[in-house]
Amino acid sequence: LQAESSFSEEEEEKLQVAFSLEKQDLHLVLETISFILEQAVYHNLKPAALQQQLQSIHLDQDKAEAFANAWAAAGQDTIEKFRQRVLTPQKLETIGWQLNLQMAESTQAKLKSPRAVLELGVSNEDSK
């Protein structure tokens, strides 16, 4: 999730000007908002619960309410989009195994040494 950027470089510059923020501060704000929304998705929060949680960490009521309103408008769609996403780039396709049991050696007549080989075949989801 962190590898994706919500805004283009040009859009970020416009946000910097609009909010009078340095680039580093803007990135911190965007990462914080992203974290809050990711947690809301992960916990499948209702808007009222999100607002309550934000107020419990001393976010101003009007800001918490703005998050809750945005979440009420787009939260369910966002959760559904995340459910449809493949979060791992590889998919297990095949499993192969082999078990060998060495029963003796010239120096050890009662040796029992199992050796297992597990072969996992994976495919890259991006290539499909």
Verify that 96 and 61 share a domain, yes or no: no
Classify residue 34 by burial, with Cβ atoms within 10 Å: 0-12, 13-18, 19+.
middle
Give tens-digit pLDDT for 5-24. 788 999 999 999 999 999 99
Verify that 74 and 102 share a domain, yes or no: no
Show the tokens assigned to 52.
Answer: 């309550």
* Pick from 87, 5, 70: nearest CA to 36: 70
**Domain count across the chain:** 2
Give tens-digit pLDDT for 69-119. 999 999 999 888 888 876 667 788 899 999 988 777 777 777 788 889 999
Verify that 64 and 25 share a domain, yes or no: yes
For residue 2, pLDDT beyond 60: no
Domain span at residue 117 reads 90-127
Verify that 78 and 97 share a domain, yes or no: no
